[in-house]
Amino acid sequence: MSRPDEHALPPGQRPAAGWPVLHYGPVPRLRPDTWDLSIAGATADGGTHTLDASDLGRLPRAQVVGDLHCVTRWSVPDCLWEGVLARTLLDLFPPLDSVRDVMVWAEYGYSANLRLEDLASPRAVFATHCNGEPLTAEHGWPLRLVVPHLYAWKGPKWVRGIEYLTEPARGFWEKRGYHRHADPWREERYSYQE
């Protein structure tokens, strides 16, 4: 299902008042000098790759305009996200040709599974900024995945790793009854809809 026009919201969604803070567990206290991002699992070269904050800062940056749709039925439309396109990391550290699924890991062991095709979207971004301002800790600083065409639980805050999978797996919320794909235009909220 496609978006009917650029200002419409998905079925069942309403505009948010501001940008609500919603997450499971406490906000981590991260230090830029110890933070890193790993790319692991079924990589094309068989290795695990690690980027620290300065490595990430040297990668090409991009801006993406995209909505943030929470499964709890609020949406923040037309956010200007800035960061490193997911496609950039996929190109630098490609998966094996057989990989179709990815797990994105965040602080406290939080995880979100995605199809590789969703992570490879030209609008999927590992964001450091929103609307010209650095992300706050409550909104995912230092790095948050944003995949505008999926519900926001597929875009973890406080990202620490990307794992290429050879078999599909379910992430944190998917193990608790949420939909594997999470398309807001199809209202893919719960696993019983799969």
Specify the pLDDT at position 1.
43
As to burial, measured by CB atoms within 10 angstroms (0-12 exposed, 13-18 middle, 19+ buried), residue 16 is: middle
Region for 46 from its dihedrals, namely left if φ exceeds 0, alpha if ψ lies in -120 to 50, beta otherwise: left
Read off the pLDDT of residues 107-159 as tens digits, 9 standing for 90 and up. 999 999 999 999 999 999 999 999 999 999 999 999 999 999 999 999 999 99
Q: Is 6 or 121 the better-scoring residue by pLDDT?
A: 121
* Preceding amide of 10 cis, omega within 30: no
* Nearest alpha-carbon partner for 174 in 158, 193, 159: 193
Structural domain boundaries of the chain?
A: 38-193
Class of domain 38-193: alpha beta
Token couple for 39: 């790319």
The mean pLDDT of 2-26, rounded to a whole number, is: 76
What's the CA gap between 93 and 7, in Å, rounded?
35
Encoded amino acid at 27, one letter: V
- As a whole number, the mean pLDDT across the chain is 93
Tell which residue, 184, 172, 145, has the closest CA to residue 24. Answer: 172
pLDDT digits (tens, 9 = 90+) for 46-78: 999 999 999 999 999 999 999 999 999 999 999
Residue-level pLDDT at 81: 97
| pLDDT tens digits, one per residue of 178-189 | 999 999 999 999
CA distance 109 to 79: 27
Rounded-to-integer distance, Cα 97 and Cα 31, Å: 35
Taking CA atoms, 186 is separated from 26, 161, 182, in Å, by: 31, 28, 8
pLDDT per position as a tens digit, 99-115:
999 999 999 999 999 99
- The pTM assigned to this predicted structure is 0.92
